[in-house]
Amino acid sequence: MTDAKSRIEDTVKSSDVVLYMKGTKDMPQCGFSSRVAGVLNYMGVEFADVNVLADEDIRQGIKDYSDWPTIPQLYVKGEFVGGCDIITEMTLSGELDQLFEQNGVTYDKAAAEKIREANA
C-alpha cells in the first residue's frame, strides 16, 4: 500500500484541487461523484480528477490515506476537505468559497451564488 500512498501524496501535493472520484470529471460514474464534479465544473474550478475505478490500489488507498470510508474525496492544497455531503453543505453555506479564497484557488463567484440561489 505504500506505493499507492506515495502516488496519492504526489497527486494531492502537485495540484491545488484534486477530486478522487468514480469516473472522470467529464464522465462521472456515480451520482455522488457527479454532484461534486458538477459543482466544481460549474464554478469553473481547475481540478485534477482521479478515477478510482481504474486502479484498485488507489481506490482502497485513498480511503486509508484520508481515513474516510467513501468516495468522492476532495483535496485542496494537499488537505482533505470531505466527501459529497460535506462539499454540498460547504457550497450552500459559502464555506467552499472561503476555502478557495484562503488557498488562492480561482473560481466563479457568480456561479457559486447561482448554486445557492437555486437551492434556497
Annotated binding site for [2Fe-2S] cluster: 30
- Taking alpha carbons only, the member of 114, 110, 104, 90 closest to residue 46 is 104
Residue 107 to residue 43: CA distance in whole angstroms: 6
Detail the residues annotated as belonging to a binding site: 30
At residue 48, the 3 state secondary structure works out as strand
* Under 8 Å between Cβ of 31 and 88: no
